[in-house]
Chain A
């Protein structure tokens, strides 16, 4: 850093045009996918970054701040990966539009850092040379430089820089190598401003700005494209010296197992099993810990605060509601940890490779596998990940079925139902019934998703199967900092949700359950009667005739209504309805115990295993998530698709739940 500081403080070096800007410099990091773009972004910005939040933002890109030098804070944008300015997917279009200054809300970057993978120079330089031709101030960051050196590939950086006409800086992001040099290069590029057009130019003429292939004859663009590659090959040949032990050979040796005819699918199943096993067993310890903390907090408040409506609100509303949801943070973290590890290591692409043929049978694309797998964590990032699917109809079909993947918000519901009504039971003596049921819920979601995808692809989203073209990146050890950043961002989103939406709903539900307060003189003024007469109770009563065939009473109805904002609120609502926060005895504090004891008016128990199963089925299939609806609205840019999604999923959920409950009653005694 000291060298950079010296250079900057020297008055004759300080770029005058940069001073004149009088606004923070904006730097965009662009490059092919899997070239260490995000690692570089994380190294530059550290923790001073934010993921633009879900609803209401048109461009999803990570923004961060890079303190390039003292008094010099730079805005950095991490763009989605792209292979060419001729964007084919939505992700690529977003990146291109920002780079070319076509995005209304984001100013064109002052400097572009384009990451070029040193182990795959030729293909990476294709995009880099396209960008150099745009005359934007630019710096090439040569990533994976250590890997190139290790595979005995020597790159003459000066020669490369001279040929390209822009600065080329080797960086090793995780060791912060080259970052100071990169900073200096960025500042001088900003100072120099718009560059001259290079003396080579292979841009395909595109006067209308539309898709170029329709404007130019096939021969002429093929000729230009080939000429660009020839030129790049010549530059690379002159600037490199290789003992030609290809780094890919290690990946090929790993692939010999991972995508093996028989071993490959076995490994895929084992990986998924490991993920689910971890989430259901290892997460228990921290979950219990959080649970105890909130119980103790509620009990502590009761003893130290005078009894009254405010204490009730705090304990029954806020703590019972928010605590009930925060308990699931460990599970959500673990799920995201696995998905990030799989993505960063390069395994996800292999999974898509293995699954493509199978997915195609249902009319889907191999690339849909990653978004769908991510949807098991949360449908929101899953739906965003569909941007890599080029064909719009395939993308829509994937978006429409993504919410069927049992997300982490459904887990609490399954876990609660199983803990209450199926715990400790074994099948064949050693398999836990609960684990089997959860597996069953996941499979139900997948099965319905497959049928719906097939139907959509053969009706409203009918289209010829699009080309499948996907890079299989070399296996790499996941970068710890990257994984940590992703997890931190996820925790942030989850905590924000728990602190805002869920807390608001908890308070709202508490109010609706508590008011209007019956006068104290009235007979039978116990909790149950009060809930029944409350606003929520009236609403529950209103929908009871509709949900009674599913086995649900009006109290479950209250929970159902609140769950349409977010599934996990069903637990906080049940806690409030059954008044679990009330600390009147060790046993009655547990929601599970309260549910087991709950009685209908005729004295029969409300909750039977069949009711629990019916509720679980409903939660597998219904679209109860405001965030998902918001993201679908944004990603499809219409209200038509999200409304279609809510309605068809609700109908499916109702019918499936009805079949479960009524069918179960026919088969056995409830």
Chain B
């Protein structure tokens, strides 16, 4: 499952990021490392970008980038 298709409000964990080097580096620096807890909060009125709760803070991300992030459901 990728982050752009994750249903709103579902608690997930980051598995991996398959984006470009620069994008992946920044996402990981912002805390999107494998195992980090995340949750899709909502999408903007026009459907894009989406708001993600990542650990202790919130991040806005476009669906294009969210698509590169693989996540797994929390047990």
Contact A259 B62 (CB under 8 A): no
Contact of B44 with A353 in the complex, beta carbons under 8 Å: yes
CB within 8 Å of B: which A198-227 residues: 211, 213-214, 218, 221-222, 225-226
* Residue on B nearest A268 in the bound complex, by CB: B45
Inter-subunit contact B44/A469 (CB<8 Å): no
B28-66 contacts to A (CB < 8 Å): 28-31, 33-34, 36, 41-42, 44-49, 51, 53, 55-62, 64-65
In whole angstroms, what is the CA distance A121 to B56 when docked?
A: 8
A252 closest partner in B (C-beta): B41
Most buried by B among A248, A255, A467: A467
Interface residues on B, range: 35 or more
Q: Closest chain A residue to B43 by CB distance? A: A261
Is the beta-carbon distance between B29 and A248 smaller than 8 angstroms?
A: no
Give the contacting residue for A218; candidates B21, B29, B51; CB below 8 A. Answer: B21
Whether A468 pairs with B58 at a CB distance below 8 angstroms is no
Smallest CB–CB gap between B38 and chain A, Å? 13
Q: Is the CB of A88 within 8 A of B46?
A: no
What is the bound-complex CA distance between A358 and B28, given in angstroms?
27
Interface contact A356-B49, CB-CB below 8 Å: yes
Q: In the bound complex, do residue A467 and residue B53 qualify as a contact, i.e. CB atoms below 8 Å apart?
A: no
Least CB distance from B49 to A in Å reads 5
Q: Which of A119, A222, A358 lies in contact with B46, CB distance below 8 A?
A: A358
Those of A310-359 within 8 Å (CB) of chain B: 349, 352-354, 356-358
Q: Min CB distance, B65 to chain A, in Å?
A: 5
- For B19, B31, B59, B65, the residue with the greatest tally of chain A CB atoms inside 10 Å of its CB is B31
B65 touches A469 (CB 8 A): yes
Are A225 and B33 within 8 A (Cβ)?
A: yes
Which among B28, B34, B46, B56 has the highest number of chain A CB atoms within 10 Å?
A: B56
Q: Does A641 make an interface contact (CB < 8 A)?
A: no
Q: If the complex has contacts A353-B51, A357-B44, A468-B65, are A251 and B58 also in contact, measured as CB distance less than 8 A?
A: yes
**Which chain A residue has the least Cβ–Cβ distance from B41?**
A252
- Point out residues on A near B: beta carbons under 8 Å: 83-84, 86, 88, 119-123, 126, 211, 213-214, 218, 221-222, 225-226, 229-230, 246, 248, 251-252, 255, 259-262, 264-265, 349, 352-354, 356-358, 360, 366, 465, 467-474
The 3 A-B pairs with the shortest beta carbon distances in the complex, nearest first, are: A357-B46, A472-B58, A213-B21
Q: Using a CB–CB distance below 8 Å, which chain B residues touch chain A?
A: 19, 21-31, 33-34, 36, 41-42, 44-49, 51, 53, 55-62, 64-65
